[in-house]
Chain A
Amino acid sequence: MARYDAIIVGGGPAGLSAALKLKMNGFNPLVIESGDRIGGVPIQCIHTGFGLHYLGEDLTGTEFIYRLIERVEDQGVEYKVRSHVFRARYPYRIVEVLSPEGFLELEAPAIIYTAGARERTIFEIGVAGRRLSGVYTAGEAQAYMDVYGIIPGSRVVIIGSGDVGLIMARRFALEGARVEAVVEAMPWPGGLTRNIVQCLLDYDIPLLLGRMVVRLEGKRRVEGVVTVRVDEDMKPIPGSEEFIGCDTVIVSAGLTPNIRLLEELGLAVDPSTRGPVVDDYLESVTHQGLFIAGNALVVNDLVDYVVEQGESAAESVSMLLSEGVKPRSYTRIVRGDNVRFVVPQYLSCERDAVIYMRVMKPEYDVKVCFKELSLEFKYPVVRPSEMLRLKLSRSDLDTLKGSGSLTVEVKHV
């Protein structure tokens, strides 16, 4: 059985950053990637907006990931492609891998799980109708257009106003398709304002807020969608049905962490993130030695945060490898008003902690309060589509001593 210092499951930006950090710290990681090449989802992201924080440059996803790939090659980071981790054995930290080389069993003191997120399907958002062709998830359509070079259709309706859907609205419009509408059930858009302006307004694409697609129409291929208006409780308002003709439906209903493997191991999952419950070392609180970073941990907006999480997990693993397992006690984070989720969910309070969180509703002139610490961070606006990143220093956290709870809430100033 081959041994490495760490096995990294998934060779996207989180996994590659983690591997580079471990290599830099003098360790020997192995990245295992299911796809034909390393790079992950950014390989198909031809738009800009990547690396603004991390590199101080506005790069395309492709340019950003190739910077990482170049460093991976230069540093001689070991990786396997076309290799799929389909099972893990705990507490041994063995992964079973299927690859053209054969069936492999690999063991390591730590596993960093960076397998990203998957897209929610049309069934998960409850759209009824026949099983028609012409329906694609946004990421799938992106791969068709910007990796495989084909265009799915000519008249498009996009379900969901998350960033991937907005980006695809622009792609379709620019390549000559007619984008009839982006349909969003919430009263506010799901993506960044920058994308609303540069993808929808620039192209005169209607954004229908407070409307939900309830059914697809068509014989074999989709011929249209039926939308209804919904109230604040997302209940359809009778009599508000409207038909929009199209030949292509793009489902941009959001992402969800791709943690099947971890669920099979019985890892604790946070329903508010649909990702694993971790501490400030990004280690699973139930499964010691399993670290999670990137979209597999929590769905991020910015690749910069994904990379930060990858590096953070790698630092935690480096510490584990040099200093061994140490017992920890935790302060539990409690979600207060207008907080949809907080990651990590537990704090050891023995180090600086980076907090990632999202609000449930947009609010203006607010302060994010850490009640028991009497700490406040002011924001002129907070939106669900924009993840907040805050740092609590070790000295800030000292008083909690890794016990009790810490309430995070959003209050009006």
Chain B
Amino acid sequence: MSLDGSKRKLTCIVCPIGCVIEVNVSEGMLEASGYRCGRGLDYARQEAIDPRRIAVTVVRVRGGDTPIAPVKTDRPIPRKLVREVAKLAAYMEFEAPIELGQILVEDILGTGANLVATRPVRRI
């Protein structure tokens, strides 16, 4: 999404109301309408300028009680990089055992986030 001259609607997910917030970014300035609270405005700002997500996927494991281990980034990363993380994970393979929370890849794609295991894998 380009940063200039674009107008879009997004649904706020902070609370169950789900306000539809219209955001307009022009000349580097953000205008928003339709939010009911400050948290909604913050969310809209973040989503419009720099949407971020926790990337969740799996990696393959050798010699473990399951053939894969689920992983996540330990902090939100730019949304457009989530698919990249999943694609990169397609070429990874790790040796069992794997501990819950173990850092498998540091600073993935230069995002500053680590890829951590979210389920332990026992060695068999």
User: A interface vs B, CB < 8 Å?
Assistant: 43, 46-48, 60, 62-63, 66, 145-149, 174-176, 193-194, 196-198, 201-202, 379-381, 383, 386
Contacts and interface: CB of A to CB of B under 8 A. Distances in A.
Interface string B76-118: 0001001100110000000000001100000000000000001
Interface in B1-28: 10-11, 13, 16-18
B68 A381 contact: no
Interface of B: 10-11, 13, 16-18, 36, 53-54, 56-58, 60, 66-68, 70, 72, 79, 82-83, 86-87, 100-101, 118-120
Nearest to A202: B79
B70 to A, nearest CB: 4
B100 A46 contact: no
Contact of B118 (A60, A175, A197, A379): A60
Given A202-B53, A383-B16, A62 B58 contact: no
Contacts of B100: 62-63, 66
Task: Please indicate which of the listed interface residues B13, B70, B82 has the most CB atoms of chain A within 10 Å of its own CB.
Answer: B70
A47 B56 contact: yes
A149 B18 CA distance: 35
Contacts of B86: 174-176
A147 B65 CA distance: 10
B2 to A, nearest CB: 17
Contacts of B119: 43, 46, 62-63, 66
Q: Which of B66, B72, B79, B118 has the most CB of A within 10 A?
A: B118
A60 B56 contact: yes
B66 A46 contact: no
B13 A60 contact: no
A201 B13 CA distance: 12
B118 A62 contact: yes
Contact of B68 (A146, A174, A197): A146
Contacts of A66: 100, 119-120
Contacts of B68: 146-149
B82 A193 contact: no
The 8 closest A-B pairs by CB, nearest first: A46-B70, A149-B68, A62-B119, A149-B67, A194-B13, A193-B18, A60-B118, A174-B86
Contacts of A48: 54, 56, 72
A174 B82 contact: yes
Contacts of A145: 58
Nearest to B14: A194
B17 A63 contact: no
Most buried by A among B68, B79, B87: B68
B13 A198 contact: yes
Contacts of B11: 193, 196-197, 201
Contacts of A47: 56
B6 to A, nearest CB: 16
A216 to B, nearest CB: 29
A176 B79 CA distance: 16
B120 A193 contact: no
A387 B20 CA distance: 22
Contacts of A176: 86-87
Contact of B57 (A43, A175, A386): A175
Given A46-B56, A63-B100, A148 B66 contact: yes
B13 A381 contact: no
Contacts of A381: 16-18
25 contacts: A46-B56, A46-B57, A46-B118, A48-B56, A62-B119, A63-B101, A145-B58, A146-B70, A147-B66, A147-B68, A148-B66, A149-B67, A174-B57, A175-B57, A175-B86, A176-B86, A196-B11, A197-B13, A201-B11, A202-B79, A380-B16, A380-B36, A381-B16, A381-B17, A381-B18
Contacts of A63: 100-101, 118-119
Contacts of B13: 193-194, 197-198
Contact of B70 (A60, A148, A174, A197): A60
A60 B71 CA distance: 9
B28 to A, nearest CB: 25
B50 to A, nearest CB: 14
A285 to B, nearest CB: 31
